Amino acid sequence: MSREAHKPWEPWGTVRRERPFSASHLHLFHTCVLRLLFESERFRPALPPSPVALLGTAIHEFLESQRKPTDHDWSELTAQLLDGRIAVRSSAFPGTAIAFADVLPVRSLLRRVGRIKARWRARSNPSLHHAMGARRGAIRSRVVLEKFRTGRTMALRGKPDRVEITETGAVEVTEFKSGRIFREGRVEPSYLLQLLSYGEIVSETEDADVSLRLVGPDGEYRTDYGATQRTQLQGFVSGLERTLPAGADLLAEHLATPGDGCRNCAFRPGCSRYLASAPTAWRERQPISTPPMDRWGTIQSVHDDPSGLRRIYLTNPTGGLYCVRGVPRAVSDRPLEAGKAVWFFNLRAGEPGAGRIPINFYIADVNSPRDSAHAAAVYVR
């Protein structure tokens, strides 16, 4: 089946790699090769992004816009966010746009972005350039990023946040992160792989010394991109190409590796290995130690609550009985009726207490919208 005709909830049979590997997803090689392929091929995710992910995208776009410092208005963006004028479409309230401020702790997130921005400003400060031996205007060109989208000798694809060429001809590549870049004193390996990939893509185009920089709220990391880094990256990419050869038909279930990486994978509804292993994980926490808040089974009964939302009872073939409340009428593509098969994804647990296996879940919480399952998805068959 072609990827255009494939429906998000239909299990994938055969898959084929037709594009270079996505630099920002290379680390998935160590957790799930199928997801690496999905992300590299830009398959349509079956689950909506969370508000945190949406805000992260907005923040990233803002930081990218600072390539031209004169055409941004930080204070205006801050005001919009704090006023809640930027809204998020929520699965928990279909048809309604909710302000970010109603679903996320925007102020603390903005403080984090402010720290990144301060670091960027320090780098852009002319006196700092001077102290580094460069004079004002030493960065003579904001390189057209379209130039750096794919590798020529390695099957890599990606767009660095920022590429600068100094008057000496050296190239500096910068990647901004809104999350921490160091873990236990070491740079996050997935970010390092991404950064090296950008180094490769840029160095193939520019015959110059290439330095790499990662900027996050907890600090800054720098490295060069030279022969040693290139050899390491080449070995890694060659391994990827052996596992996912371009143009070959591959069985999705042979590539999938259910585990803790499934938790933030937006392709779960169409992954047969995940669907087969999750019911065991709900009971035994294996092979997924913290299973995503998904449940599926046959609808036993549907109840209308005074809030106008619905309460659904369902049973799973393995014997589990579950309740999902706060279900908006328009959340699914088909009517929710007794006897039908239903799949709920990205729910919220109704029982407090870490470590307990929940049997009660909810989608919308009208009394506390922030606590709703904004990225929920429901499929009925």
Q: In terms of CB distance, is 13 or 219 closer to ligand SF4? A: 13
Q: In terms of CB distance, is 120 or 379 closer to ligand SF4? A: 379
Q: What is the CA radius of gyration of the chain?
A: 23
23, 26, 34, 347: which one binds ligand SF4 (CB under 6 A) = 34
Minimum CB separation from ligand SF4 for residue 47, in Å?
A: 10
Q: In terms of CB distance, is 22 or 372 closer to ligand SF4? A: 22
Which ranges in the chain belong to alpha helices (H)? Answer: 33-41, 51-65, 74-83, 100-103, 106-124, 126-131, 189-205, 227-243, 252-255, 272-284
Binding of ligand SF4 by 274 (CB under 6 A):
yes
Minimum CB separation from ligand SF4 for residue 277, in Å?
A: 8
Binding of ligand SF4 by 17 (CB under 6 A):
no
256, 309, 347, 375: which one binds ligand SF4 (CB under 6 A) = 256
157, 213, 268, 295: which one binds ligand SF4 (CB under 6 A) = 268
Of the candidate spans 110-118, 161-169, 259-267, 327-335, the one that interacts with ligand SF4 by CB under 6 A turns out to be 259-267
Of the candidate spans 185-193, 256-264, 316-324, 368-376, the one that interacts with ligand SF4 by CB under 6 A turns out to be 256-264
State the DSSP H helix or E strand holding residue 213, giving kind and residue range, or none if neither: strand 210-216
SS3 string of 314-330? EECCCCCEEEEEEECHH
Of the candidate spans 52-60, 213-221, 257-265, 339-347, the one that interacts with ligand SF4 by CB under 6 A turns out to be 257-265
Which ranges in 157-310 belong to alpha helices (H)? Answer: 189-205, 227-243, 252-255, 272-284
d(CA 265, CA 39): 10
Binding of ligand SF4 by 261 (CB under 6 A):
yes
Q: Exposure of 289 by Cβ count < 10 A (0-12 exposed, 13-18 middle, 19+ buried)?
A: exposed
Biggest distance spanned by C-alpha atoms of the chain: 73
Q: In terms of CB distance, is 273 or 295 closer to ligand SF4? A: 273
Closest by alpha carbon to 318, among 358, 269, 279? Answer: 279
35, 162, 177, 295: which one binds ligand SF4 (CB under 6 A) = 35
Binding of ligand SF4 by 278 (CB under 6 A):
no
Closest by alpha carbon to 217, among 115, 356, 308, 141? Answer: 115
Binding of ligand SF4 by 273 (CB under 6 A):
yes
Could you give the C-alpha distances from 19 to 44, 202, 247, 352, in angstroms and in order? 15, 18, 9, 44
d(CA 141, CA 122): 19
Binding of ligand SF4 by 296 (CB under 6 A):
no
Binding of ligand SF4 by 8 (CB under 6 A):
no
What amino acid is encoded at 155 in this protein? A
**Interface residues toward ligand SF4, by CB under 6 A:** 32, 34-35, 256-258, 261-262, 265, 267-268, 271, 273-274
